[in-house]
Amino acid sequence: EKGTYPHFMLKEIDEQPLVMRRIIQSYQDDFDRLKLAPEIRGAMKRCDRIYIIAAGTSYHAGLAGKQFLENMAGIPTEVHVASEFSYNMPLLSEHPLFVFISQSGETADSRSVLVKIKEMGHPALTITNVAGSTLSRESDFTLHLHAGPEIAVASTKAYTAQIAVLAILAVDTARAKEIRLDFDPLQELAIAANAIEVLTDQKETIEELVRSNLATTQNAFFIGRGSDYFVCLEGALKLKEISYIQAEGFAGGELKHGTIALIEEGTPVIALATQENVNYAIRSNVQEVVARGANDMIFSMRGLEQDSDAFVVPQVHELIAPLVSVVPMQLLAYYAALHRGCDVDKPRNLAKSVTVE
């Protein structure tokens, strides 16, 4: 039920801190040990490469999760769009592990890859919000998102839950492989939950940004580098899906190779700056578009901010940043849809789960 909320999407955005805490509780015992099935740990230790298969928002969560699996667990990881995998299949490693990410567990594109790789004899782990879903039943192992039902077509809390569960999977593997980490990811997830809470209290600021920058625009660009780029892809998808503004997420350095031709006087360009190593570079990309008339909005992280930034998110560990920086992107999309009179929870042409290929 929506309760006092006008839309499920807004309720689900607000539920994210709670979901994050529920995930930490569900996967950790009283002695800080992680409660993952030994078979999953075994499969993670045995594999020499992970192939993440997903669609839409779940694909974007996979891109962020790849960072954990490579940086924490030391496993090379590829992320593939489910509907393309069979036609652009990479040369598989000797001991692949397939990880399917799907909120619904019913996405037909992902299922057809699952059927194919099971025929080939490879192991599969599904990360899903729906226990007993098709992908969960047909995989060897399942990890649950514990996000509670997600009703709005635009996925929000499932995305942050997927990234959190991927982080937990990576930490568990790192511990099993005795890889020493120089930070405590579980503690960082708890810090992220608090940060999201702070952000969900800043709705008015985001609504104001929408009123002055996105109320009537026909298009918008999201630019970022490193993991900010992945969040830009998600921010753009969210905005197109529910507000029908034509939006694209780009790697900041790639704009000048063609897309910058689309920048005109007043074109909104939303830039993410949460990563120290690319902070300078993304800001010069913003200068490039501003010089061509763009209307810039920089979303930075505390510690990296500059006075002219449109919005500053609380400081969290850089690897965890997508969990936090996506929240203002979700709110931008929400208020853009609201102010443009769109049906927020049920956008046109879309269903909650896509069960056709």
Site residues for ligand M6R per CB under 6 A: 55-58, 102-104, 107, 110, 153-155, 237, 241, 353-354
Comparing CB distances to ligand M6R, the nearer of 152 and 310 is 152
Find out whether 49 and 95 touch, Cβ atoms under 8 Å: yes
Rounded Cα gap, residues 232 and 271, in angstroms: 8
Helical spans, DSSP H, in the chain: 8-14, 16-27, 38-46, 56-71, 82-85, 108-119, 134-138, 157-176, 185-200, 203-213, 227-243, 279-290, 321-339
User: Which residue numbers are catalytic?
Assistant: 352
Cβ partners under 8 Å of residue 216, min gap 6: none
DSSP state for residue 222 in the 8-state scheme = E
DSSP string, 110-173: HHHHHHHHHHTT--EEEEESSTT-HHHHHSSEEEE-------SSS--HHHHHHHHHHHHHHHHH
Comparing CB distances to ligand M6R, the nearer of 105 and 224 is 105
With CB atoms as reference, the residue minimizing the distance to ligand M6R is 56
Rounded Cα gap, residues 30 and 52, in angstroms: 31
CB of 44 to ligand M6R, least distance (A): 22
Query: Tokens 């007993």 correspond to what residue?
Result: 132
Beta bridge partners of 78: 51
Helix orientation angle between 157-176 and 321-339, rounded to the nearest 10 degrees: 170
Residue 66 token pair: 């790849």
Rounded Cα gap, residues 167 and 61, in angstroms: 11
Rounded Cα gap, residues 77 and 97, in angstroms: 10
